[in-house]
Chains A and B, each alone.
Chain A
Amino acid sequence: MPLSAAPPASSQPYLLSASLDNARHLSSLLRAVHFQDHATCFATAYGLRVTVEDAKCIQANAFIQAEIFQEFAIQEESVTFRINLSVLLDCLTIFGSSSLPGTTTALKMCYRGYGYPLMLFLEEGGVVTVCKINTQEPEELLDFDFCSTKVVNKIILQSEGLREAFAELDMTSEVLQITMSPDKPYFRLSTFGNAGSAHLDYPKDSDLMEAFLCNQTQTNRYKISLLKPSTKALALSCKVSIRTDAQGFLSLQYMIRNEDGQICFVEYYCCPDEDVTEA
């Protein structure tokens, strides 16, 4: 814990105060959604949610629940602010981003409220760094209105099977087409690039398939440039759930196990590029 640079006791208590023994538990998750400079932080008693959006088409959320923190105290029902995520990540990894098992950076995060900067106290090996990051007015976030009752098709896959596929996606293709069907090809990822088309098929009885619940054949296309950042989340995760609703909106939920074995979630929502739904 920080020594002399401990947050001074003052008449105004912090609206949000959280401590983490290993800042990597936060920074690695934030990296998984870092495809834009700015993010919206939303904190409740349940924990912290960091949201990043782009092009009014894609939204990524990183959830770090209160149980992950050693201390998580919030004085109001919810606290929201917008912050520069790139700067936040730079600060969280200020002692370097190497993940040697012995060294961890301890973090204490404090926020006094609207208009105040976010204070970060980072300590590693007796050295303390204090960061103050300006916060901004939170912007309205997209609401994909995606709830489990509206899900048409759902698949849960072991991330291992998708990692290489996503890393090697043909980026000369403008879209990533996702086909989910109770019949062949069951689950197919397609790209249409300069070299030609490529299809990646996962059979429903594959060992990688943890759950296969497809009721209707759906084919949807998504802008590949928007989905490509999700590869980071995929790389960290052990399982991914892929769901689509009747409009073709895509929900990707990644289950991530951190260094201490705790579970966190990252999710991506994406609008379809064109609606190519087959009945």
Chain B
Amino acid sequence: LSLRTVNSSRSAFASFLFAPLFFQRYEAANGELSRCKVHMKSFLGVFRSLPSLEKTVGKCLMLLQPSSNRLVLQLHCKYGVTKTHNLAFQECERLQAVFDTQRCASSLSGPARVLAEAVVHFPQTLAEVTLEAGPGGKISLRNYLEDEAERNKMMVTELCLSEDEFQTVAVAPGSSITFCLKEFRALLTFAEASNLPLTIHYDEPGRPVIFTLNDAVLEVHLVLATLSDMQSNSQPPPTNGSFPPPTSVPATSDDFGDDLESFMMAVETSDYRGEGLELPPPSPTFPLRTPQPPQSDPEEEEEEGAVPGTPPHKKFRSLFFGSVLTPGGPSLTPNQEVLAEDSDGES
């Protein structure tokens, strides 16, 4: 079972993949993929209160039948009580973030607790945080301030962790990345609760940072856009930056291997079934094979309307998908190169 979400500014993608063994009983329709898109609020509404869930719910049944137009979530509770939720859903294309941890220059892995305890020191309202591999095996977390001017007025908090606190450290010295704290915090909460070690893969500023949690029956990925260097707002495409052509994207089933594929963040749960997916203009900071699209207009991005809970930072918005994409809508921009084919569209 795979649960995936992407935020409206396409700067965060999360995927939870549960192996059949995670469940007490797992029956998948023979060879057929069941896939649907459900409103987050509706889905979360079923699992409203975690403490009460733990106290009263024994089992949860999820049923998706091709014949019915409802996703059934049934909670079997104490005292023989049954709560059945029939959620409306939409059919959708595969939501697949394209990223490759193998191509990340730096990685570190350690208990989530270490990082959870560190982020506690940042205010709840802090938008972005910078992770840096400093000299002497120092890993630091620092709140990110947008302008130089702010630095003189605002409080800067920096936490240094020693390499010893992590299980593995393979970082490029002096490397640093800046990403949204909110999504990171959410993942840390889950990681701590599930007691799984957290691995962080990152590369250059501007390239996504990938957080993973793994165990025998669960694989979690959180991919966040990172801030590109201030100076290089319009980087020329790096010569070695070509990513594998679409055909190398393996087709078909959503098994574990799927998540580790080629580069760019693909699209999009589209409401247009069966149409070939088109990627919106790639970010100027990403390596491109096509000529650079026009610089994204910051003003336009601000008006896209921050979806509650997504980082509204305008720099992030440009990173994955560019500004012309209206939130939630399918990409209608012409002459886009398809960088990652929709698996359904492949013959």
Q: Which residues of chain A have a CB within 8 Å of any CB of chain B?
A: 161, 164-165, 168, 170, 194-203, 205-208
The reply to whether B85 and A195 contact each other, CB–CB distance below 8 Å, is: yes
Docked complex: B251-284 residues within 8 A CB-CB of A = none
Please report the C-alpha to C-alpha distance between residue A208 and residue B56 in the assembled complex, in whole angstroms. Answer: 13
Cβ of B42: which chain A residues have Cβ within 8 Å of it?
194-196
Q: List 18 A-B contacts (CB under 8 A).
A: A161-B79, A164-B49, A170-B45, A195-B39, A195-B42, A195-B45, A195-B87, A195-B88, A196-B71, A198-B83, A199-B83, A199-B84, A200-B83, A201-B83, A201-B84, A203-B80, A206-B80, A208-B79
Interface: B82 (CB within 8 A)? yes
Cβ of A196: which chain B residues have Cβ within 8 Å of it?
42, 70-71, 85-88
Interface: B48 (CB within 8 A)? yes
The reply to whether A201 and B81 contact each other, CB–CB distance below 8 Å, is: yes
Cβ of B25: which chain A residues have Cβ within 8 Å of it?
none
Closest Cβ neighbor of A185 among chain B residues: B82
* Chain A nearest CB, measured from B72 CB (Å): 9
* Chain B nearest CB, measured from A2 CB (Å): 44
Cβ of B86: which chain A residues have Cβ within 8 Å of it?
196-199
The reply to whether B81 and A161 contact each other, CB–CB distance below 8 Å, is: yes
Q: Which of B41, B56, B80, B82 contacts A164 (CB 8 A)?
A: B56
Q: Which residues of chain B have a CB within 8 Å of any CB of chain A?
A: 39, 41-43, 45, 48-49, 52, 56, 70-71, 79-88
Main secondary structure on chain B at its contact with chain A?
Answer: mixed
Please report the C-alpha to C-alpha distance between residue A202 and residue B81 in the assembled complex, in whole angstroms. Answer: 5
* Chain A nearest CB, measured from B98 CB (Å): 31
The reply to whether B39 and A168 contact each other, CB–CB distance below 8 Å, is: no
Q: A195-B43, A195-B45, A197-B85 are in contact. List 16 more A-B contacts (CB 8 A).
A: A161-B81, A164-B49, A165-B83, A170-B45, A194-B42, A195-B85, A195-B87, A196-B85, A197-B86, A198-B84, A198-B85, A199-B82, A199-B85, A203-B81, A208-B79, A208-B81
Cβ of A168: which chain B residues have Cβ within 8 Å of it?
48-49
Please report the C-alpha to C-alpha distance between residue A182 and residue B43 in the assembled complex, in whole angstroms. Answer: 32
Cβ of A194: which chain B residues have Cβ within 8 Å of it?
42
Cβ of A208: which chain B residues have Cβ within 8 Å of it?
79, 81
Cβ of B49: which chain A residues have Cβ within 8 Å of it?
164, 168
Question: Taking each of A164, A168, A195, A207, which has the highest tally of chain B beta carbons within 10 Å of its own beta carbon?
Answer: A195
* Chain A nearest CB, measured from B76 CB (Å): 10
A164-B56, A195-B45 known; A206+B84 contact, CB < 8 A? no
Cβ of B39: which chain A residues have Cβ within 8 Å of it?
195
* Chain A nearest CB, measured from B87 CB (Å): 4
Q: Which of B41, B43, B79 contacts A207 (CB 8 A)?
A: B79
* Chain A nearest CB, measured from B48 CB (Å): 6
* Chain B nearest CB, measured from A191 CB (Å): 10
Please report the C-alpha to C-alpha distance between residue A136 and residue B62 in the assembled complex, in whole angstroms. Answer: 56
* Chain A nearest CB, measured from B263 CB (Å): 36
* Chain B nearest CB, measured from A240 CB (Å): 14
A168-B48, A168-B49, A195-B45 known; A200+B82 contact, CB < 8 A? yes
A164-B52, A170-B45, A194-B42 known; A205+B80 contact, CB < 8 A? yes
Please report the C-alpha to C-alpha distance between residue A194 and residue B88 in the assembled complex, in whole angstroms. Answer: 9
